[in-house]
Amino acid sequence: MTAVRVREAGDAGLLLELEPVIDVAVNARAVGIANALRRRALAGVRDVVSTYRSVAVHFDPCVASPTRLREALAQAVADSHSVHEGRLIEVPVAYGGVHGPDLDEVAHWSGISPDGVIDRHCAVDYRVFMFGFMPGFAYLGSVDEAIAAPRRVTPRVKVPAGSVGIAGRQTGVYPFESPGGWQVIGRTSVRMFDWGRSSPALCAPGDRVRFTRDRGAVGSGWPGVASASAGLLREARPTALQREAGLAAPRGEAGPAAHLTVVRPGLLTTVQDCGRWGHQAEGVPVAGALDVDAARRANALVGNDRNAAVLEATILGPELRFDTDATIAVCGADLGATLDDRPLTLNTVAGGRAGARLGFGQRRNGGRAYVAFGGGIDVPAVLGSRSTHARSAMGGMEGRPLRAGDRLALRGVPAGTPTDEDAQSPAAPLPPAGHLVHLRVLPGPQRDWFDDAAFELLQQATFAVHPQSDRMGLRLSSSAAIPRRSLDEMISDATFAGALQVPPSGDPILLMADRPTTGGYPQMAVVISADLGIAGQLVPGDRVRFEMCSMQTARAALNADRHRGASDGHERRA
The reported pLDDT for the residue numbered 258 is 77
Q: Which DSSP state fits 127?
A: E
β-bridge partners, 372: 329
The CATH fold of domain 88-213: Cyclophilin (2.40.100)
Question: Which residues have a Cβ under 8 Å from the Cβ of 172 and sit 6 or more positions away?
Answer: 137, 138, 139, 140, 164, 165, 182
What is the DSSP track for 435-459?
SEEEEEEEE-TTGGGS-HHHHHHHH
The reported pLDDT for the residue numbered 541 is 92
CA separation for the pair 76, 80 (Å, rounded): 6
The reported pLDDT for the residue numbered 431 is 74
CA separation for the pair 486, 546 (Å, rounded): 23
Question: Which residues have a Cβ under 8 Å from the Cβ of 425 and sit 6 or more positions away?
Answer: 297, 563, 564, 565
Classify domain 5-79 by CATH architecture.
Answer: 2-Layer Sandwich (3.30)
Provide the residue ranges of all domains of the chain, joining segments of one domain with +: 5-79, 88-213, 248-424, 436-563
Count of CA atoms in the C-beta half-sphere (13 A) of 144 = 16
Measured between its terminal Cα atoms, the distance across the chain in Å is: 51
- Side chain identity at 118, as an amino acid letter? I
Greatest pairwise CA separation for the chain in angstroms: 73
Question: Which residues have a Cβ under 8 Å from the Cβ of 503 and sit 6 or more positions away?
Answer: 509, 521
CA 221 to chain centre: 30
3-state secondary structure of 416: coil
Sign of CA dihedral 39, 42, 45, 51: negative
Classify domain 436-563 by CATH architecture.
Answer: Beta Barrel (2.40)
CB 355 within 8 A of CB 523: no
Asked if 5-79 and 436-563 have one fold, the answer is: no
CB 94 within 8 A of CB 217: yes
CA separation for the pair 548, 457 (Å, rounded): 11
3-state secondary structure of 287: coil
- Side chain identity at 522, as an amino acid letter? P
Find the helix packing angle between 66-79 and 24-40, rounded to 10°.
130
The reported pLDDT for the residue numbered 196 is 83
Q: Which residues of the chain have pLDDT under 70?
A: 1-3, 81-84, 215-257, 413-428, 562-574
